[in-house]
Amino acid sequence: MGPGRVRGVGVLELLLPASCAGCGAPGAACCPQCVAMFGRPERVARGPTARTAPVYALARYRDVARRLVLHYKERGRRDLAGPLGGVLAAALPHLPEAQPDADGVWWLVPAPSRRVASRVRGGPHLRRLAGACAAGLAGSGRPAAVAPALRLGAGARDAVGLSREQRAANLAGRLRLDPRGVPPPGTPVILLDDVITTGATAAACTHTLTAAGFPVRLILTLTAA
Q: In the complex, which residues of this chain contact Zn ion (CB under 5 A)?
A: 20, 22-23, 25, 31, 34
Q: How far is the CB of 61 from Zn ion (least distance, A)?
A: 17
Report strand pairing: 42-44 vs 55-60.
antiparallel
Q: How far is the CB of 179 from Zn ion (least distance, A)?
A: 41
Looking at the chain, which runs of residues are DSSP E strands? Answer: 42-44, 55-60, 106-110, 144-146, 150-152, 175-177, 189-196, 216-224
Sign of CA dihedral 162, 164, 167, 169: negative
Residue number, 31 or 222, with CB nearest to Zn ion? 31
* Contact in structure between 222 and 84 (CB atoms under 8 Å): yes
Residue number, 2 or 24, with CB nearest to Zn ion? 24
Q: How far is the CB of 65 from Zn ion (least distance, A)?
A: 11
Q: How far is the CB of 221 from Zn ion (least distance, A)?
A: 21
Nearest to 152 by CA among 199, 117, 187, 197: 117
Residue number, 67 or 119, with CB nearest to Zn ion? 67
Q: How far is the CB of 155 from Zn ion (least distance, A)?
A: 37
Residue number, 20 or 91, with CB nearest to Zn ion? 20
Residue number, 29 or 205, with CB nearest to Zn ion? 29
- What is the C-alpha R_g of the chain? 17
Taking CB atoms within 8 Å and a gap of at least 24, the contacts of 123-128 are: 123/6, 124/148, 125/72, 125/73, 125/78, 125/81, 125/194, 126/192, 126/193, 126/194, 128/78, 128/81
Q: How far is the CB of 136 from Zn ion (least distance, A)?
A: 19
H-run or E-run covering 129: helix 125-139
